[in-house]
Structure 1
Amino acid sequence: MGSAPNRAPNFHPTAMATGESADTMSLLLAWLPWLVASLFSIYLLDLLANVRRCLPPGPLPLPLIGSLHLVGDQPHRSLARLAKKHGPLMSLRLGAVTTVVASSPDVAREFLQKHDAIFATRLVNDAMGDHARDSIPWLPHAPRWRSLRKMMATELFAPHRLDALQGLRSDKVRELAAHVARLASDGAEIDVGRVAFTTMLNLLSCTIFSRDLTSLDDHGGSKEFQVLMAEIMEYGGCPNVSDFFPALARADLQGLRRRLARMFARLHVVFDEEVDRRRDQGESRKENQDFLDVLLDVAARDGGKAGLDRDTLRALFTDLFIAGSDTSSITVEWAMVELLRNPSSMTQAHEEIAQVIGSRRSIEESDIDQLPYLQAIVKETFRLHPPAPFLLPRQAQETIRIAGYMVPQGARVLVNVWAIGRDEGIWPKPDKFMPERFIGREVDYKGGDFELLPFGAGRRMCPGVPLATRMVHLVLATLLNRFKWRIPMEVERAGIDMTDKFGVTLTKAIPLCAIAIPI
């Protein structure tokens, strides 16, 4: 009888793989409850730790992202709403970072005045990259920062320096008035933000380099500068994954650091050309020195001890032009927007200027002190539309108790000046534009009164306040002195869009275009 043939055992790889997958899945399902329980325990322990640390009140954070989902693309508004629920001193965990927000004058005073030394160091956000190493706004509160700050205060923003340049500012606003008059005669719409920006930019460039960088008639060139600087402010203040999760910063996942580096490089080309041109002139400019001459003289005298190398000069000029032209023109644009929306305020401003100026065609800086309603308009604009809604963020250098709560070392600190300006406990009808609220009321916006903090306070207050306030008042007064204004019919029917765009500064999302009528 024949033997049965040998048969190979049945071998099905798919069946075996399926069996292994089933075993793996069973194992995962067995461990899943333990994993969830472990993560939940870590989350609860983290919440308990925060309670024990006695942090200021705030929203309950979610695992991993914290309260990032509550911030949105307009943090000044969302954090103001949260402060109404959790209080004027509030803490949030944004990603992996503890952030403390001050939303009232009393709490702001604690950070910016009473404990100013502990919070004098600025938080450098990741997007600023290499620029922050030499930038006065971002440098640590240390001897080098103090040296550069002192030089700016004595050589650029000192009263005698500003007084000496009154003629230059008068020339620039006359050019502005002539340019607007030409457009008015043609019935053309005027981009108020652009003409204000170009005037501020050329005023600064003449102060620093003794020449204009662009022209009011060069719509392309001046608009390019304006867009570039606006984008730097937008990307510099954009919520960034790298700031919320520092462990991921090297990856620059949103590309903000790379974008800003390219933008800064474009400005550096312009500034390098000015420096090289001046150095080539050598001894030929001993008369009528501008700010660049002063800086080069200081650098030559001390053999480099002042630290005025090429990178520092680039950073210094970048800060001056961005802060000086962008924030000032933003304020003028918002002021004109509010006046066009409030015709009675516009009429009162025109009447006051007519009474003071009389038959003269040009307005001078010395006239500003006699224009209390104009000054009130500027203050009310600062209240409703602060150029920097959070100022620049600070960082606690040590753990400290504020208003009964602990602010831990390393915490990021935001002062929401936008929320302070809209606080109905301080300002009746806070959303209404009412310059009259400042008539007969002494409110200092230069760091003395914490109800109005457009430039900050304390040792890190904006050093350019003396020049910025002169420029804003003079440009706004010139636009109102020579012209009446109206908005185009299609805008009047729809209403002026008041949407703002968040960044380091708070710009108008849709530029104001208006029609000037010569008086």
Structure 2
Amino acid sequence: MQIYYFMFIAPSTMLSFSILLVFITFALRYIFKLQWQGKVQKPKQPTLPPGPKPWPIVGNLPEFIINKKKTSVSHWIHSFMEEMNTEIACIRLGNVHVIPVTCPEISLEFFKKQDAVFASRPLTMATDVLTKGYLGTGFGPLGDQWKKMKRVMANEVLSQATHRWLHEKRGEEADNLLRYVLNQCKNGDEGGLVNLRLAARHYCGNVIRKMMFNRRYLGKGKADGGPGFEEEEYVDTIFTILAHINSFCISDYLPFLRGLDLEGHEKVMEEATKVLEKYHDPIIEDRIQQWRDGRKHEPQDLLDVLVSLTDENGNIPLLSTDEIKAQINETMIATLDNPSNALEWALAEMLNKPEMLQKAVDELDDVVGKDRLVQEYDLPRLNYIKSCAREAFRLHPIAPFNVPHMSLTDTTVADYFIPKGSHVILSRVGLGRNSKVWDEPCKFKPERHLQDCNTGEEVVLAEPELRFLSFSRGRRGCPGVVLGSSMTTMLFARLLQGFHWSIPANQGTIDLCQGKKDSFLAKPLLAVAKPRLPLHVYSVSR
């Protein structure tokens, strides 16, 4: 009875309801149709950064191989990024996305805003060999082993307290550097010709060996304070390792090729690591035995620190023999290249511009004087000298890229999609010579770094804004900033305070050409040194 009442009493209401229902049905169908056809706007999905179009399966490996043989991978990457006018790119090598970056702002997005996402390292052939399966801290992937070794390095090996404790050992090597150069100046008023590449690398190697093993020489050394055969072989081996440690090895992107050693990199790394350990291992194993036998009770160097560490229950050792060896391998290769390369390039530039050289010497005379040798406590006041070092780091970086970081998840950076497992590499050349950041980026102008500081503010070698790379930042940043800064500045200060430097006769100017396959000067820097301090000042460098 109620139904009939509804149908006959309210026909207009039923008609309106039916029309509304039909309208809603057609509207929904139309909306669904538009969505199906893609005509309804969807949120824009981020795309990969621009880059060369990849081939199926192998990606850009064909271009990679061709350019690696013709020039270098880094030259190819920088060339196509310039052609595409982009400051972030994507190259697919096999299944790996390699993301080079030349922009400070984008770099900070990676290593400041999303530091946790990019806190791991890729697994590579060279780093695996050097670190005995990633037992150290510099090259290992994110995980418990890395966290353990990072705590050891930050709290025990590279802490401020340890740095102060080993002050005297660094001072001994600064004195020996002066003695070595002085012994090259045996021609009276004519001075002596000095190989500054050899002197700088020798000093850096001496400092870290003295701090680590409490010894300057691995063999007998030389009477003039210079390196013997063992030290020269040792340093050459370290630079061989540095040339191969992040050299874009094909098997790092196609792991099934590892073992075939198509490029010969595996053999080079294995043989170089054996040479390094030929010198390290007997010292390490003997020291471990001394602590076990109770013949040693107090630490005298960093090796003692590593050997004597105890676990949370007070039991020793905290570190295994292989962990100690792996960490020492990493530490030794990390301390030679940056300071020595910066000194050689900066002094080459300054010799061509004598007013810069004189300005640095005047600063030393004002801060230190000529009646004593510059010491580490003087270094904070040597702002112009540190500006020269910063400018060398900026304009003449030690390598084209930093050590790669690997993304732990899919993410978005600078509105681009960065897949999980991507290898992110910051371009040292691209950042340091970015014309959007630096005025006259290809000119050596130390004064630019003084202008960045407020009056009375100390110039430091680190660059937290990533306008160039001296020491990396973030979770995987260099833990040795204090040591690296003091070594670099002391190297500059002692050489500039102790000697007049000039270009060899009949040479004209220093050739500033870079090597074809590396970032060093094409030819080692040779310069004439003459003592500039009273003779009694040098007598402390016995």
Q: Which of 380, 394, 401 is 1:383 aligned to?
A: 394
Match of 2:511 in 1: 496
Q: Which AA in structure 1 matches 2:193?
A: E
CA contact (8 A) 2:351 2:502 kept: yes
Query: Shift of residue 284 of structure 1?
Result: 3.5
1:355 aligns with 2:366: yes
Larger radius of gyration: 2
1:102 aligns with 2:101: yes
Q: Which AA in structure 2 matches 1:91?
A: C
Equivalent positions of 1:120-519 (< 5 A) are 120-132=119-131, 133=133, 134-186=135-187, 187-214=191-218, 215=221, 216-282=225-291, 283-287=294-298, 289-298=300-309, 303=315, 306=318, 308-442=319-453, 445-446=461-462, 448-489=464-505, 491-492=507-508, 495-500=510-515, 502=517, 506-519=519-532
**Uncovered stretches (5+) of structure 2, i.e. residues with no partner:** 1-43, 454-458, 533-542
CA contact (8 A) 2:163 2:483 kept: yes
Match of 1:81 in 2: 79
Match of 1:59 in 2: 52
**Uncovered stretches (5+) of structure 1, i.e. residues with no partner:** 1-50
Deviation digits for residues 458-490 of structure 1 (CA, Å, limit 9, x no counterpart): 010111111010011011100000111123245
Cα distance between partner residues in 2 of 1:405 and 1:426: 22
CA contact (8 A) 2:115 2:475 kept: yes
Deviation digits for residues 336-373 of structure 1 (CA, Å, limit 9, x no counterpart): 22222322211111111112121323101111122111
Select between 321-330 and 237-246 the one with higher mean Cα deviation: 237-246
Query: Shift of residue 96 of structure 1?
Result: 4.9
CA contact (8 A) 1:74 1:502 kept: yes
Query: Shift of residue 66 of structure 1?
Result: 5.1
Aligned residues, how many? 465
Superposed CA RMSD: 2.4
SS in 1 for 2:425: strand
Query: Shift of residue 152 of structure 1?
Result: 1.2
Query: Percent identity, aligned pairs only?
Result: 27
**Structure holding more helix per residue:** 1
Select between 51-60 and 458-467 the one with higher mean Cα deviation: 51-60
CA contact (8 A) 2:339 2:484 kept: yes
TM-score normalised according to structure 1 size: 0.83
TM-score normalised according to structure 2 size: 0.80
SS in 1 for 2:48: coil
Cα distance between partner residues in 2 of 1:99 and 1:463: 25
Q: Which AA in structure 2 matches 1:231?
A: T
Q: Which AA in structure 1 matches 2:197?
A: G
Query: Shift of residue 425 of structure 1?
Result: 0.9
SS in 1 for 2:336: helix
Deviation digits for residues 179-200 of structure 1 (CA, Å, limit 9, x no counterpart): 1011022444222122122222
Q: Which AA in structure 2 matches 1:153?
A: A
Cα distance between partner residues in 2 of 1:77 and 1:342: 29
CA contact (8 A) 1:238 1:502 kept: no
Select between 353-362 and 64-73 the one with higher mean Cα deviation: 64-73
Return closer, same or farther for 1:315/1:288 CA change in 2, 3 Å cut-off.
closer
